[in-house]
Amino acid sequence: MSQFLKAPQSAAEVGVAGAHDAGSAASGPLVTRSTSVIICTYTEDRWDALARAVRSIGRQTHPALETIVVIDHDSILLERARRAFTDARVIESTGEPGLSGARNSGVAVAAGDIVAFLDDDAVADETWLAELDRAFDRANVIGAGGVATPGWVRGTPPSWLPQEFYWTIGCSYRGLPDDASPIRNPIGATMSFRRTVFDRIEGFSDGIGRIGSTPLGCEETELSIRARLAHPGSVVLHVPTARVQHVIAAERISWAYFRSRCWSEGLSKALLSRRVGQKEALQSERAYVLETLPAGILRGLRDALRGDLSGLTRAAAIAAGLTVTVAGYVRGQLVRTP
C-alpha cells in the first residue's frame, strides 16, 4: 500500500530495559507528537456507543490532531456520521470489507506522527492519549497498547466468565503484565503505532481479522509481528495507565458466543501461524497455556472450596475454552480456509 508515505525513522536507539518505566510521569520529559485517532464502525446498531467513543476523544488532556471515523461500506451510516460528527473527519472505507480494510483506509489519510486506534464501542479515559504518547519518548518503541476494562451492559460481570478469558470480549485479561513491559501485540480496542511503521510494512493484512460481526481476530497480532521484524531491536509496549472502557453487549456474555469466539481464535491462530511461523504466532500463548490457565483453574477450585460455587464454572470454562480453541487451531491447520 504505497499510500502510506513518510520516511522511516531509527527504531533501535535505546535498549528494551529503558522502556519498562514508560508509563510513569517521571520517566522523562514529554516529547510533543501529533496523534491521529481512528475509529472504525460498520453498523448503525452501535450508533450510541460510537457517539460516546467520538466524544471521549474530544475530552483528551493531550488533544488529538484529528479524529478519523471510518465507515465500513455502509452509505446510510456514512451520511449520518458526516452530519453528526462535524468535528471529526468521516470517510468511507476504500479497502476490502472488514476491520483491516477500514483501518488501512484511516491510516492512508492520517496526518499524525502517531496513529491510535479506538474501538467504536469503547470510551477512552481523558488521559488515554497522553499515556500512550509518553511511551514513544523511547525511540525503540514502535507501538503501544493500553488496558481495556469491561463496561457491563447488565451492570455486573457473569459469574462463570473467568478473567483469563476476557480476551473473548475484547478486553484485557489475566495474564497480561501489570507494569509497562514489552508485549507481542496490543489489544485492538486501545493501541497506537508510529505512523512510519505503516510505510515499512504496508498496514493491516486483508484476509485476517474481523469482518462485521464474525468473531475472527489476530489482525493486530499479525501487524505487530511484522512491524517488529521490520524494525530490529524495536518493542511494542504495554501501558497499563492508558485505559479505555469497552462496552460489553449482552450477546457477548453467553456460552454460545464464548464457544464461537474461542473456536474462531483457534482458526485465526492457525492462519497466523502459516503467515508468520508458529514460533512467532504462538509466542505469548505458551506461557498463557502452561502458567496462566492452570493457575486460573486452581483459583476457581479454591474459590469453590471457600463457598463460591461459581468458581467451579469458571474452572470449567477455562478448560472448555482451551479445548475449543485448540480444536479450532487444529481445524485451521487441516483446512486452509476457515
Q: Terminus-to-terminus CA distance in the chain, angstroms?
A: 25
- What confidence tier does 172 reach under pLDDT thresholds 50, 70, 90? very high
| Rounded-to-integer distance, Cα 159 and Cα 321, Å | 15
Q: Is the pLDDT of residue 28 over 90?
A: no
The per-residue pLDDT for 272 is: 85
The per-residue pLDDT for 207 is: 63
Answer yes or no: are the C-beta atoms of 318 and 165 closer than 8 Å.
Answer: yes
Closest C-alpha among 114, 105, 103, 120 to residue 56: 120
pLDDT digits (tens, 9 = 90+) for 176-230: 999 999 999 999 999 999 999 998 998 998 766 454 445 556 889 989 999 999 9
**Domains of the chain in sequence order:** 16-250 (3.90.550.10)
Annotate the chain with three-state secondary structure.
CCCCCCCCCCCCCCCHHHHCCCCCHHHCCCCCCCEEEEEEECCHHHHHHHHHHHHHHHCCCCCCCEEEEEECCCHHHHHHHHHHCCCCEEEECCCCCCHHHHHHHHHHHCCCCEEEEECCCEEECCCHHHHHHHHCCCCCEEEEEEEEEEEECCCCCCCCCCHHHHHHHCCCCECECCCCEEECCCCCCEEEEEHHHHHHHCCCCCCCCCECCECCCCHHHHHHHHHHHHCCCCEEEEEEEEEEEEEECHHHHCHHHHHHHHHHHHHHHHHHHHHHCHHHHCHHHHHHHHHHHHHHHHHHHHHHHCCCCHHHHHHHHHHHHHHHHHHHHHHHHHCCCC
- What confidence tier does 27 reach under pLDDT thresholds 50, 70, 90? very low
Answer yes or no: are the C-beta atoms of 77 and 71 closer than 8 Å.
Answer: yes
- Burial state string for 32-59 with b = 16 or more CB within 10 A and e = fewer than 16: ebebbbbbbbbeeebeebbebbbebbee
- What confidence tier does 277 reach under pLDDT thresholds 50, 70, 90? confident
pLDDT digits (tens, 9 = 90+) for 68-113: 999 999 999 999 999 999 999 999 999 999 899 999 999 999 999 9
Q: Is the pLDDT of residue 243 over 60?
A: yes
The per-residue pLDDT for 336 is: 58
Q: Is the pLDDT of residue 3 over 80?
A: no
The per-residue pLDDT for 6 is: 38
* Residue-level length of the chain: 338
Report the percent of the chain where pLDDT is more than 90: 72
Grid coordinates representing 249?
A: 453487549
| Rounded-to-integer distance, Cα 238 and Cα 205, Å | 22
Closest C-alpha among 83, 85, 95 to residue 120: 85
| Rounded-to-integer distance, Cα 141 and Cα 89, Å | 28
- What confidence tier does 250 reach under pLDDT thresholds 50, 70, 90? confident
Answer yes or no: are the C-beta atoms of 193 and 114 closer than 8 Å.
Answer: yes
Q: Is the pLDDT of residue 17 over 50?
A: no
